[in-house]
Structure 1
């Protein structure tokens, strides 16, 4: 190779370098452009004699100054930043919505309770009642507005998801097309398609703005792009389009699927990072949490205020109705139960979700799965963490109910089968569903239905409180059937009298006829009172029932010293009210002639059983024949000392009985009306009366059923056994194997729940009594109004194992969204800094430095000129040679 050829190689190399430098300079601001460089090397030298002569320079390739590790880092950092940035941009709208005073619910709640407080100070004011109604309406409007704004955010988010998917699909198609072009260039043996590679890398970077992707390069030079979960997006020149699909449970929420040969496969769970992940996180977490928590507060307010309001009476004396719309309205209950679109046919499953106790509810969603092996096997999972809340088997198929965490999932009808899934959303729509039900101010039930009174002749220091309403409905709160106690408008059925039979015992009697109080049905008698403390008087368990002794000989007067009761075996069965599990307890045996006291001692050993007993005997017609020994009467073996036969009368006998210390230890007391002595044992010992003296002496012994036996002397006796009342907790049932014994074979258990409670404290006197009646003329009564106001401070919204007030629950939501916003802001700033560092590092390696390129221009120009000078020298030499031959 001659000098000219050497110069030409230099010209070609420097020309390539100048072209590449110019290409770099002109693309300095092109997104994704990678700086290029001419790679050159010396041509193979030639051997000439013993010398190796150089052959100039050659251009090997034009390379990209590219670092794959840094590029991969940029993809990750870009995805992280865009996820935080997108989520932050959306959540800031919710944060402002929930926290700003002009949109927060807290102001309206405060105004409503302040209005109730003002009304409680003047319950009869019609103008204040109208103000309360307006403030209730304002609370409803604010809840509805907040829910509507959150729903708008959902629609905006769906639009953003759809637009993002459109751009993703464009980028995926672009990458696949660039793969094809690159293969065509490089597969044809030509040099590397640097600019096409830059375009492809840029498309991948732009794709990483929407989601995290992984890239694998094939030996052919094409790349395959995958979602973080492994789903194909690009394989060679084949793109896989994403589609926005309806959530399987809720069409207002969107999922993302990939189209594989015409079949849609859900891939939302494989999407992480980027704009799409930020939007999905906002939709599924922020919006879901906000709507659920807002709905839970709305349900708690509506449910608890409705419950309390229904325990009062309005200005016309009618039981209070609903303030807010029923939280278990049929439509609301149905909307909480969503069926998966993937469930097998037939599409006939019907279910709903009702609120049992709003104070026990969470803000979670749940998934009901029918897991097999049978169609009735189910489990309920918490959607947020996939933990199992409850599982079991529907014992009799449907209809069936599953109760947990304050709600009841009610499966009404349909062919529920293995593989079925249902989404349970107890609170999601409540913010938009809350509504005002009450329409007139005079319907506000601020008064309590009961009032109490004390007999002005009471001798003790005991006092009764105003009374508290526990429940007015048979299956409160969802049943509107009033308890029999309040079933008659404007009346208490029956009014009652609480009569103390001693300082430590009392009876509750039907006071419908104040001149003749009688036992309640079922009876509540022989109740224990503890002087000096506050004593609740009535049973307060709605499930409490009472069984009475019903045997033929119960309380009957019989000759002799035994009561004539038969033996029997009792069986107690407990059905757990929560789980339905049935437990049969060991048999309880009552021996023949057992006293009521002995029976009570046996029964009270049973869990959930509280038995009481009483024995009553009447003595009259005291006859002393005057011959031989004087009339002598023994009561339970204790001889009554009567100094003179002419003093044998009712008053004297009663006085002697009450003066006998041993009889007092048996809780035996006597009462005289001047003709007849009533003897009571308040602990249920048998009462035996024996007549001693001469054959002509006698007394009449009468039982509570007016059966009379004349007992004559000497040494004859009559005995009366006691009756037993058995109070049983909710879920207990008692059966007997002897219908002729103390109890019936299947004794009727009657509810003892009155629906209200009164408390008495102090020390009562014997025969002191107190009354409970309907609260007529209650215009100025504000007791139920005070209870409504107290709900503002009551911690009745369960969160993280503790109770919160309505205000605290809502403020907790706003605070949590605020904390999430702050956290996202911090993470976004950090991710942005990291991304900028990665981009800066790439630019330092792959970016175009115009100063450096300007220097290169000069260098390569000089190289070009020098190479041209080599050619010129060669030309001069050649010309000189030619001149020598002229």
Structure 2
């Protein structure tokens, strides 16, 4: 081998090992740099003892593990966001200072005090004070739920802003990587920067990726909507929901239009916010509204069946759930609808049949519709409803009437009646959001302010004749004070007498208009069986004798009567919501939210543990090990020195040859 070849080999070796030393120095200097992947020099031997050259500066990265970290980052961010909001909701519902159940206990406790002394104005005032306290508690809970919803909207906007700041950077790096790759440069640091940005992006939203031959990456979200395509990044936008304007929706901006993605987003902070809003928060708000509406309506109904200290029939204790303003607020139309609505109302027909859900009504065509119950996804097509002969005849769940001439649609289902009246015909694609119970807590308000107006007494009194020889007893309860029986204030029209007789076939009762021989009703006597009359029921019990008589009159002067107060108090344990009491249903809500919160906590902890494992595995491959780099530093330093020695030897040989000539 000539001294020239030896010099060339030494020079190549010197340059190669200098490059190796520079690479080790780069690794050591970036040991604490987020996202940095260690690099390694790829030496290649030249043929025919031609020396060595650096084929590539290899970036040590396992793309499978990198993608796994992205996926695990998305999951961890999703569950972490779910957990933070779920904890707040759980504390709101279960804490003693904010619990609805505790407030109801205090309310019914004050009512029991009024039961004990119905003529006491201080006791009545205490009851009204507790009713006001209950209103404040319920309204405050609704405000807290609304605040959470507003916070979610704000965070959705913030996350979208973060995503929109990352995607252009990824697109720009794609462009730079392609340019450097085309010039045979090694853009390792750019790959690192891009991977780190993608990891940050995965924390905000679940993504999928694909790589092309030039090293560019395309990123997709939702059902495959492009977020980054080569050197172009798409913008996400936050838009006000329609028909539900209380929810911010997510859309990808394509040209001049936005393509909604909300229902298709999963993972990341954005997915966690949306999932929590649509599940836990919506369920809690709807269930709370249903409980409150069942409570206020049943209390109002029972209070109306009593009389106050002035002998007048009871009015509203709480705001009427079918107040026109409230009925009108339960429907919202999509802003993209073609039809123009003149009036839209939701009337509550049966609080016991209500579901803790929202509904979406969509017109498939001009002449057909589908109603979706959001809580369970049940689809109720038009054919699943029975057609009534008129709107007035729609009085049972599962019925509807559609007057295409006047564009009036009436549908009754799940304890509410929907009425839509449009100026023009409905059109395919028209959508409406129906919220029968969602605003129940915010709408709740005490309507009665004067303690004298509390109707704690029953309007009718019943008595047995002092000449009766049997053991028969009588009780009476009003069922409907809107009938003619109660048409004149302070009177019963007509008062009645009941006589027991035996025509030879067993005891029978005969109801007479009091003071006359006019028979109003007759039937076989059955102990304890209610006799339904006009707006009230009479119950005879025990063993009356033939000839025994009973009377029912207006409860004139019966201010110390507490029968209606007792009936109101009994509502605390009444099974009015799917076979359960108010507080039983609330307890079930607290349990469900508590369970969901516990699951969210477990998932957050588990997803963090999984992410930690994935990060450690990735870093064990890509991360910089200082001990290893220190060893390589010595190795390459010695090789560099030997290469310099080789050049020196070559120079000595060359000088010796020159001297020998």
Scaled to the shorter chain, the TM-score interval is over 0.9
Alignment: residue pair count: 636
Quick check: 2:402–2:408 contact (8 Å CA) kept in 1? no
Residue of structure 2 in register with 1:761 after alignment: 541
Alignment of 1:235-384 (within 5 A): 235-344=229-338, 346-372=339-365, 374-375=366-367, 377-384=368-375
Distance 1:873 1:228 in 2: 66
Equivalence for 1:410? 419
Distance 1:400 1:450, change over 3 A: farther
Give 1:485 shift: 1.0
**C-alpha offsets along residues 837-880 of structure 1, whole Å, 9 cap, x if unaligned?**
11100000011111111111111101101111111111111222
Q: Secondary structure at the match of 1:537?
A: strand
Give the superposition deviation at 1:461: 3.7
The answer to whether the 8 Å contact 1:255/1:268 transfers is yes
- Match of residue 487 from structure 2: 487
The match for 1:808 is: 584
CA deviation map 1:560-612 (0-9, x unaligned): xxxxxxxxxxxxxxxxxxxxxxxxxxxxxxxxxxxxxxxxxxxxxxxxxxxxx
> Aligned equivalents of 2:52 and 2:277: distance in 1?
62
Match of 2:609 among 815, 826, 833: 833
8 Å Cα contact 1:292/1:428 also seen in 2: yes
- Displacement, 1:185? 1.0
Q: Gaps spanning 5+ residues in structure 1: where? A: 46-53, 473-481, 539-752
What TM-score, normalized by structure 1, do the two folds share? Answer: 0.70
Matches of 1:103 and 1:856, distance apart in 2: 64
Larger Cα-atom Rg = 1
| Distance (Å, rounded) in 2 between the aligned partners of 1:535 and 1:152 | 52
Structure with the higher fraction of residues in helix conformation: 2
Aligned match of 2:403:
396
Determine the C-alpha separation between the residues in 1 that align with 2:276 and 2:28.
43
Partner of 1:423: 433
Aligned to 1:58: 53
How big is each residue's C-alpha offset from its partner over 1:316-367, in whole Å with a ceiling of 9 and x where there is no partner? 11111111111111111111111122212x4325211121221221111111
Report the counterpart of residue 513 of structure 2 in structure 1. 510
Measure how far apart 1:182 and its partner are: 0.9
Deviations 1:229-263 (A, max 9, x none): 10000111111100000111122210000111111
Partner of 2:393: none
8 Å Cα contact 1:298/1:430 also seen in 2: yes
Distance 1:120 1:858 in 2: 93
Partners in 2 of 1:509 and 1:306 — Cα distance? 32
Contact 2:244 2:433 in 1 (8 A): no
Match of 2:21 among 18, 41, 65: 18
Matched, 1:529 2:525: yes
Q: Is the 1:61–1:191 contact (alpha carbons within 8 Å) kept by the matching residues of 2?
A: no
Q: Separation in 2 of the partners of 1:435 and 1:536? A: 35
2:558 to 761, 765, 778: 778
Write out aligned runs for 1:718-867 (5 A). Answer: 753-798=533-578, 803-867=579-643
SS of the equivalent of 1:11 reads: helix
Seen in structure 2, the aligned counterparts of structure 1 residues 864 and 106 have a Cα distance that, compared at 3 Å, is same
Query: In angstroms, what is the RMSD of aligned CA positions?
Result: 1.6
Tell me, in whole angstroms, the C-alpha distance in 2 between the residues paired with 1:774 and 1:413. Answer: 48
Counterpart-to-counterpart distance in 1, 2:440 and 2:646 = 89
Residue 772 of structure 1 deviates from its aligned partner by 1.1
Q: How far apart are residue 288 of structure 1 and its match?
A: 1.5
Specify the SS of the correspondent of 1:804. coil
CA distance in 2 between counterparts of 1:434 and 1:223 reads 54
TM-score by length of 2: 0.93
Runs of 4+ that moved beyond 4 A: none
In the alignment, the residues of structure 2 paired with residue 174 and residue 395 of structure 1 have an alpha-carbon distance, to the nearest angstrom, of 55
Inter-partner Cα distance in structure 1 for 2:29 and 2:166: 25
**SS where residue 43 of structure 2 aligns?**
strand
CA shift, 1:413, in A, is 4.2
CA contact (8 A) 2:24 2:633 kept: yes
Q: In the aligned structure 2, how far is the partner of 1:102 from the partner of 1:185?
A: 63
The answer to whether the 8 A contact 1:215-1:223 is kept is yes
3-state SS in 2 of match to 1:388:
strand
Check the 8 A contact 2:308/2:314 in 1, yes or no.
Answer: yes
Q: How far apart in 2 are the matches of 1:762 and 1:842?
A: 84
Q: Does the 8 Å CA contact 1:86/1:278 hold for their aligned counterparts?
A: yes
